[in-house]
Every structure is written in structure tokens, then in C-alpha cells.
Structure 1
Amino acid sequence: MVDPLPRPADSGKSAPPNPNVIVAVLAFAGIVISAMQTLVIPIVPKLPTLLHTSASDAAWAVTATLLAASVATPIAGRLGDMYGKRRMLLLSTVLLLAGSVLCAVSGSLAPMVVGRVLQGLSAGVVPLGLSIMRDELPAEKLATATAVMSASIGVGAALGLPLAAVIADNFDWHALFWTSFGLGAVGLALVLLFVPESKVRTGGRFDLVGGAGLAAGLVCLMLAISKGGDWGWSSGTTLGLFTAAVVVLVLWGFFELRVSRPLVDLRTTARRQVLLTNIASIAFGFSMFATSLVMPQLLQMPAQTGYGLGRSMLTAGLVLAPQGLMVMLIASVSATITKTRGPKATLMIGAMIVACGYGLSLVMMSEVWELIVISCVIGAGVGFAYGAMPALIMDAVDASETAAANSLNTLMRAIGSSVASAVAGVVLAHMTTDFAGLALPSENGFKVVMAIGGAAALGSLTVAAFIPRRPQPTRAELAPHRTADSAAPVSGAVPEV
């Protein structure tokens, strides 16, 4: 049931929470969710043995999380706008805890996959946290807070890999998921204690048909992208899934344009600033993920190949860790530029830095320290861009649509990352070298993937150049008599679509 409209604060109420505490708690929650997705990486090669199944079936422990996250992110955002962003953030964290426990006690494929699905359903935490910040923080703190919250994605991913490698090397593999549970429990407690519930709501009923249609379309799309390399890109299954995704999403779009309160407001999404930001996010998600695919493989490749560095998974994680720290360190610089020059400039600077990082990789991939430098340069670019994207989105939508719009933008980045994984897989599978009877990715194959990542960053830069310089007016601004506390349109307001 939708909460009633906010009432004036009683004089006897305690002081509002410290904004810095809110930011710290929400950023920690984002780090936990992001780290969860990398904790399983060190044991992926061992999953067939650990779960007593085939390699193709064991891969569902990874694919299931990806599919669940793609579906849950936009739906959690819309539910947050309707019923409370903190409420949905708490529910997402509870799903993470349930999934972690199920994986921690599993010894076969079925419970592991179900647990990983539950973990994937928690993926809406970051866009929900961004939306809570918009509702609760003073305007002068929002740019910095947004940059910090966005940076939590990179920090969690970068720190999760070395942490997982240490745990996997020294403890039973189930300890990975007990760690995820422990971190999630701390995050849940902190949110309960320090994060207030936003009173900005849209109200209305949830669009069940729209939710089912979007879920079906996204599952078909992401499944085709993530499994196409295994099934064959020209196989009937892969082509059938791509076709089904197009048909379902087109029909879903027509339906969403005809309902009064859609799951995704496509008219808002079609605004130039929102549309171009989302397109740039797809390209940037592709670019950012390329380095995460190449560097761990290159570091662990046998040194006898002449280009591999022969290091352990732990070393690979430690090489990538500075990237996450750089993302966080650059957050304040990103916020300053956003305040003075606008988020468009910040995004373009970030894309340019990432492109430069990939350019360096073409001549600096023979030593560990060189990879650390490249990782830090790319991390700096990611820090700029990740702080700018949600700022661009929030500048262009009503406060009551923030969670849904941020969630859709997060989904766009995830789609870009999934496409990067597929493209890199194809390139590295076809550009190989023979080593002791094994077909390993060649040095040129790695360089091609890095070059494609740099090209994607330049593509994001090009798209960002066409984003409007000034934020477009929201519907609330176009309807001045619709108050900020109003949950429904009044006479003369721009109608909901």
C-alpha cells in the first residue's frame, strides 16, 4: 500500500540524518552488491567439479545472475518510485542475503543457480541509492554524493576479485558466499539505522503486463548475448532468441505508450538528454568492461608464450584493485567539474581519458607495472564518467521518476558490458596461438580487444558531444502548479503517459 502524502515535520522529531552518513552507507551498499558479482570468478573453472556437473551447465551459475540482474534493475527502480526507494533497497539486500545463504549451503547445481538468481535480483541497489540521494540530500552535496555512489560500482568490482582470490585459495569455496552474506548483513543494518525513506512517490498500480514483457525481452536478449559464443552465433537457438527479443521489445514498447502509468516512460526516455546519455552509457559500459576481460587473462597466461606474465589470480586481482580505488579518488574531482562545467563535460572528459588508457595498452602490456598504470588511467576515466551519467539523467527527469530512469541507465551499461564480453570472446577465440598443443589467445588478439575498447570510448565521447548543454525542463517544471509533494497530477498539469 502506498504511503500517505508527507506531512509537515513535528517539532519533537529528531534531527534528520547526517548527509555524509547517508552517502557513506549507500556507497557501502553499492560496493557490497558490486563485489558480490565478482566473488565467484576464482572458482568458475572449478564449478563443474564442485557442483558435479558439466562445464556448460555450471556456466549457468554466472549466466543466471546476469539474467536476473537485467530484469530486476528496471523493475526495482519503478517499484522504488511507487512504493518507496528505501523499502526496495532493503528488499534487494534481503534477496542478496537469501541467495548468499542458499549458495553457501549448496553442493549441487540447482540450489546454486537459484541462489545466484536471488543474488542477481539485488542489482537495483545502486540506482535506488542514487535516487534516495536526490530526494534526501541538499542540492550542494548532490554532485559529490552521486559521483561517490556511482564509483562504488567500480570499487566493489575491483576489490571483490582479490578478496575472492584470497578466500578461494585459503578456505573452502562456500566461504565466498558466507562472506557475501556477512557484508550484506552489515549493509542491511546500516541502511535500517541511517537511511530515511523518501516521501517522493508516483503512486498508482504496478504495470504487470509491462513488467512481464520487459522481463521476457531482456531475458531473450541477454541470454543470446551471453550464451551465443557457446551455442554458435549463427545457430537456430541464438538467432531465435535475438529475433524473439526484437519482437517482444517492440510489442512491449507499443504497449507502454498506451498505458497511463507504464513501467518505463518511453516518452521521457526519448528526450534527447536521456536518450543520448543512455546510448553513451552502452558504449561506455562496453569500453569499461574490455579491460576487465583482457588483463586477468594476460596476467595469468604462461610466461613461456612470450607475452603472458605467468601470475596468479590473486596477482591479477591486485593489479586491477587500483582501478577501483582510482574510481573512488576521482569522484570529488568529477563532482567539481560537474558543478562548474556541467555533467556533459565530465562525461566527455571521462571517455577521453579511457580512450587514452586503451591507447597506452597497445604499447604497454609487457610488465605488471605497465598494466597497473593502464588500469589506473582507465579507472580515472571511469570515475569521471560514472559520476556524470546519473547526473545527466536526474537533470532531465522528474524527482518521482528518478529511480526508474537511473535503473534504466544502469541496465544500458550492463548491456554494453555483456556485448563487450561476447565480442571479446569471439575475437580471442579466433585469434589464437599454439602453445604446448593448446590454442591460447594471441598477443594480437588481446590488442585487438583493447583497441575495440578504445574505439567504444571514442564512440561514447562522440555521442556525449550531442547531449544538450543545459538540462531540459522536466514535466514538473512545465507544470508550475504541481507541487513537489503532490503524488498525482492536478488540473492543468502535463498528463502522465
Structure 2
Amino acid sequence: MHIEWSRMTTTAPAPTTAPVTRPGLVVAVLAFAGIASSITQTMVTPLIARFPVIFDTPASNTAWIVTATLLAAAVAVPISGRLGDLFGKRRMMLLLALPLIIGGIVCAIAPSVEIMIVGRALQGIGSGMVPLGIALLRDVVPKEKLSSAIATVSATLGVGGAIGMPLSAAVVEFADWRVLFWAGSGVTVLAALAIWWLVPVLPAGASGQRFDGLGAVGLAVGLIALILAVSKGSEWGWASWPTLGLFGLAVVVFALWGLWETRTKDPLVDLRTTARPRVLLTNIASIFVGFGMYASMLVMPQLLQLPSSTGYGLGQSILAAGLWMAPAGLMMLLLSPVGGRITDARGPKFTLALGTVILAAGYGVALVGLGSTWGLLITSLVINSGVAFAYGAMPAIIMGAVPRSETAAANGFNTLMRSLGTTIGAAIIGVVLAQMTIPLGGIPVPSEAGFRTALLIGAGVTLVAALVAAFIPKAKPTPESEPASKPEQETEPTDAPIDGAGAPRTLVGAGEPA
């Protein structure tokens, strides 16, 4: 089953093939859009504990506010990536801004938890803006600046969280919580206008191909089943029929989906490309990196906010905890150009391995500095330094290993792998912290031993990511370095952007040195 979106292709503005004259401005716009999207996704964090009171409903109901966002994002990111390849990445970024804006308005006026869930699901759909923006860089940035540009836009995931957490905490503490969502929608409107005015219209890499509707449905069903089972397993019981049934459904659906994707002419995800060792191992490493990054995000805010009477809690308010965590996100922005230069000099594989080792070292620092705010600040700085290198390197590896017609789809799939890592990490770390508790005022809270166990798991997982990264094969030489007659060589499609000399522009900075 295929769905052909012919009307979209006929009504689109005529694409331009002229060189992009202000790539730095385009990078700034895409980075701003990434920050806007990231803020929208993270600003709800300080409200999670208050939602049961706000909507006068059990916490089990308000938990769906987070789950709905996660499910919508997991489904939308790979599908929007493929649509970006088919109809243009700029166009899809503008379309994804709509659910972010509308979802924020729905949340701002939500009279009930059900409406709030709908609003957050809409905002989850819009989370594909960042991977689309990263993929678009391949079309607009000169090869000598591509690695740094990829790292900069990738860093916006951390920067948005760094800005969003303290700002949202301040709003929650001093103003009406609904202001958060009005402000988030306003920032997204500004980002959409900037994209509309300043990002050029370029040819779609897979123009003329068809959208794989059946593949999209199969992927959506499989992902929803898998993520529901992982995220709700501890609540429903890992051996319960709903959990086991969802896991079983995911296995069956993914098996059928994989069979379909290998036989259809224009697949949603080209599994043959995904199975290439360079792409496959990068995606596997992404799962572990996502796990490792999110484990620290679950541990440190709780340590900062638990009462000092526990003996290990630091007694900070929500706002103070957000401010202590903010420098770590800004560190990602500062180090992203450094990661790009390392990628140019040594290749993205080296940068990814370096980032995962630094990330693991950050967990070692955490085990030493557990009892002080300054210790956790240093921990977060080290961990986010590793995340900055790793998050900038992974898209570079992916985009250097796939045809230009699959750039956005492959990058979206890689983003999905990271999201699965965070989901699995949240489930495992959540079980550890829920099982290792002490009583505090009659309420169980995670114990110091539980936090240390979670940190050790995070360190172990990131070391596994480093090991996987070490086995990623080097990139094949570019067409300039080998004769084109070699059968295994991948060349850029004929619709590749043209550089100033009139020759097809190849991707540099996303491959290993020859």
C-alpha cells in the first residue's frame, strides 16, 4: 500500500538550486528552532508533580501527559523525516511548527487532564523539527563548516533544556503555570517565521518517490506497543498480560513491518541502508548514549531537591535546582564547535567514542561529588560535555553513510534510537529508584544506595556505548579519492547541491580521514 502526495509536490514553490549565500544565518535559524522545540518538550518537567493537584486526578492519570508526548514523538520523528526527504525539509519543519503551536495553546486553556494529554501529544508530533534541521544542514552548509554546524544544532537539545528548566520553574513558582504554554507557542511562532523568511527552498532529495503509508502505520503500531510496554511495565507489572501482550504485539508487527520494508519499492526506512555496519552500529550506540544521558537527568534533579534531612539530599527548591543544572546545557553549546573541529580532524567516530568516555567519566565524578551542589554541578558539566561530543558526532556519521535522498529519514531514525534509549533508561532507572527506598514522612523516597546504583548503571551503559563506537567501521573514501568504477562505492545522487566551482558537493566532516 502506498500513498502518493502528488498535490503537495505540484503546489510547492519552485525549488532553488542557487548556492546558499548566508549559511551562517541559516544555521542560527535552525539552532533557534531547535531551542524552541526543546524548550517546548522540557518545560513541563517542573509541573509533573503538581498535575494531580491542578487537575484533581490521580497521578496515574496525569502520567499520560508525559507518555502521550513520548509516544507521539516516537511515531512522528521517523515519519516526518521521510516526508522531509520527499517534499522538502524546510516545508516539513514549517508543518511541524503547527502542532507545537496549537498544542501549546490547547495546554494553556486545558480545563481537564484529558485535554492536556491531547495538547501534549500534539506537541510531541512537533519534536521532529530538530532532526530535520540537522538533516537540512547537509544541503546548505559548505563542507568545511558542516561538522561544526551539525554539532551546534545538535547541542540545542541540551541548551533548550538548560533554558527551559529554570524558566519554567520560575514561572511555576511566581506566576500562573499556563503562561508556560502561551510563551512556548509564542517562541515557536517566531522560529517558524524565521524559517519561512530565512531558510531557502531547496530541491527535495527523494522528490518523485512515493510515501510508504503501510510502512508508516506498521512502524507506528510497533513503536506504540513497544514504548507503552517499556514505560508502563513497572506500573502494570512486567509479567502482567497487558505488558507481555504489548511486547508480543511489537515483535510480531516489527517482523511484518521489516518484511514489508525490504520488499516495497520506496520504503519508509530503507533497512538495507540501516543494516550497513556504519549505520547499524551508530544507531545501536545511540540507544546506549540516550540511556546514559537520561539516567543522569533522572538522578541529579532528585538529589538536588530531596530534603537535607535524608543525609544526602541537598534541599534545593525547583527553581534553584534548575539554576544549578542550567550551566550544563550551556556547556553543550560552548563545546559543540570544539566537537566539530575534532570531527574534522579525526572523524566523527573518534568524536563519538571520546564523548561516550567523557560521559562515563562524568558518572565517576558523580559518585565522588554526590553530597554537594558543587559536586553535582561539576558532574553535570562533565556529563553534558560528553553528550555534546556524542550528539554532534552521531548525525555526522549517519549523514555521511547514507544517500542524500535518505538524509532526513536516516537522521530521524537515529533520533528515534536515542529516544528509545531514554525510554528504556527511564524504565530501568525508575525501577531501581522505586525498589531502593527509605521512608521520609511516611513516603518512600529513593535511598542513597539507589542513586549510587543508578549512577553505576549509567556509567556501565555509556562504557558499552564507547565499545560499540570503537567497532564502527571507517567511512569509505569519497569519489575524489578512488576511481568510480569500484562496485561497492557510494556516490552522491545527481541532485546533490552544487558548490561554487560547479562540481557536486560531497559531504566532508562526516567521514573518517582516508
Structures share fold, TM-score greater than 0.5:
yes
Q: How big is each residue's C-alpha offset from its partner over 1:393-441, in whole Å with a ceiling of 9 and x where there is no partner? A: 0110011110000000000000000111101110011111122322211
% same residue:
51
Q: 1:247 to 1:145 in 2, by over 3 A?
A: same
SS in 1 for 2:50: helix
CA deviation after TM superposition for structure 1 residue 481, in Å: 9.8
- Which amino acid in 2 is paired with 1:446? F
Q: How far 1:111 sits from its partner (Å)?
A: 1.5
2:508 maps to which residue?
Answer: none
Residue-by-residue CA offset, 1:135-165 (whole Å, 9 max, x unaligned): 1111111111000011011111222111110
Q: Distance in 1 between matches of 2:336 and 2:396?
A: 13
| Correspondent of 1:86 among 68, 90, 104 | 90
Counterpart secondary structure, 2:126: coil
Rounded to whole Å, the distance in 2 between the matches of 1:392 and 1:250 is 27
* Alignment-derived partner of residue 460 in structure 2: 455
* Alignment partners' CA distance in 1, 2:159 and 2:476: 29
- For 2:78, what is the secondary structure of its paired residue? helix
**Structure 1's 344 and 481: CA in aligned 2 closer, same or farther, altered over 3 A?**
closer
Contact 2:81 2:410 in 1 (8 A): yes
| SS of 2:444 mapped into structure 1 | strand
Question: Cα gap change, 1:385/1:8 in structure 2, threshold over 3 Å: closer, same or farther?
Answer: closer
- SS of corresponding position for 2:439: strand
Partners in 2 of 1:451 and 1:65 — Cα distance?
A: 28
Distance of aligned partners of 1:252 and 1:304 in 2 relative to their CA distance in 1, 3 Å threshold = same
CA contact (8 A) 2:154 2:392 kept: yes
Q: Which residue of 1 aligns with 2:415?
A: 410
Corresponding residue of 1:286: 291
SS of the aligned residue for 1:433 comes to strand
Matching of residue 165 in structure 1 with residue 141 in structure 2: no
Length, aligned pairs only = 482
Amino acid at match of 2:85: D
1:196 aligns with 2:200: yes
* Unmatched segments (≥5 aa) in structure 1: 487-497
**Aligned residue number for residue 490 of structure 1:** none
Given candidates 319, 332, 356, the residue that maps to 2:324 is 319
> Take 2:281 and 2:348, find their aligned partners in 1: how far apart are those partners?
13
Q: 1:262 — aligned with what?
A: 267
1:2 corresponds to 2:9: yes
Q: Report the alpha carbon displacement of residue 320 of structure 1 after superposing the two structures with TM.
A: 1.3
Q: Where do 1:302-313 residues align within 5 Å?
A: 302-313=307-318
Q: 1:169 to 1:17 in 2, by over 3 A?
A: farther
Amino acid in structure 1 at the alignment position of 2:422: S
Q: 2:99 aligns with which of 95, 101, 120?
A: 95
Shift in CA distance, 250/8, structure 1 to aligned 2, threshold 3 Å: closer
Distance 1:484 1:353 in 2: 39
Is the partner of 1:362 in helix, strand or coil? helix
Q: Does 1:346 align with 2:357?
A: no
SS at match of 2:49: helix
Q: Aligned-pair distance for 1:322?
A: 1.1
Q: Distance in 2 between matches of 1:473 and 1:237?
A: 50
**Which of 124, 132, 137 is 2:141 aligned to?**
137
Matched residue, 1:296: 301
CA RMSD of aligned residues (A): 2.0
Deviation at 1:9, TM superposition (A): 5.8
TM-score by length of 1: 0.93
Distance 1:145 1:481 in 2: 20
Pairing 1:468–2:473 present: yes
Paired residues of 2:287 and 2:421 also in contact (CA < 8 A): yes
Could you tell me which amino acid in structure 2 is paired with residue 172 of structure 1?
D
Of 248-257 and 226-235, the range deviating more from structure 2: 226-235
Q: Shift in Å at residue 196 of structure 1?
A: 1.1
Residue range with higher mean Cα deviation, 280-289 or 40-49: 40-49
Name the CA distance, whole Å, in 2 between partners of 1:246 and 1:480: 35
Q: 1:316 to 1:196 in 2, by over 3 A?
A: same
1:206 aligns with 2:216: no
Cα distance change on mapping 1:465 and 1:90 into 2, 3 Å? same
Report how far residue 480 of structure 1 moved: 6.0
Secondary structure of 1:247's match? helix
Q: Report the equivalent of 2:504.
A: none
User: Any conservation in 2 of the 1:5–1:485 contact (CA below 8 Å)?
Assistant: no
Q: Which amino acid aligns with 1:170?
A: F
Instruction: Tell me what 1:361 maps to.
Output: 366
* Distance in 1 separating the partners of 2:419 and 2:488: 31
**What corresponds to 1:423 in structure 2?**
428
Q: Please tell me whether residue 483 in structure 1 is matched to residue 485 in structure 2.
A: no
**Correspondences of 1:360-399 after superposition (within 5 Å):** 360-399=365-404
Aligned-partner residue type, residue 368 of structure 1: T
> In the alignment, what sits opposite 2:238?
233
Asked whether the 8 Å contact 1:128–1:403 carries over to 2, the reply is yes
| 1:246 to partner: Cα distance | 1.1
Q: CA deviation at 1:84?
A: 0.8
Letter of the 1:78 counterpart? R
C-alpha displacement at 1:35, in angstroms? 1.3
Q: CA deviation at 1:5?
A: 11
Q: Is the 8 A contact 2:404 2:496 kept in 1?
A: no
Measure, in 1, the Cα distance between the counterparts of 2:17 and 2:312. Answer: 65
Which of 141, 150, 154 in structure 2 is aligned with 1:150? 154
Label 1:483 to 1:426 Cα distance change in 2 as closer, same or farther (>3 A): same
Indicate if the aligned counterparts of 1:396 and 1:472 stay in contact, CA closer than 8 A.
no
SS at match of 1:107: coil
- Of the structure 1 ranges 207-216 and 35-44, higher mean CA displacement relative to structure 2 is found in 35-44
Distance 2:308 2:181 in 1: 32
Q: Could you list the runs of 5+ residues in structure 2 that have no partner in the other structure?
A: 1-7, 498-514
8 Å CA contact retained: 1:349, 1:381: yes
Tell me the residue number matched to 1:494: none
2:113 to 90, 98, 109: 109
SS at match of 1:223: helix
Letter in 2 for 1:26: L
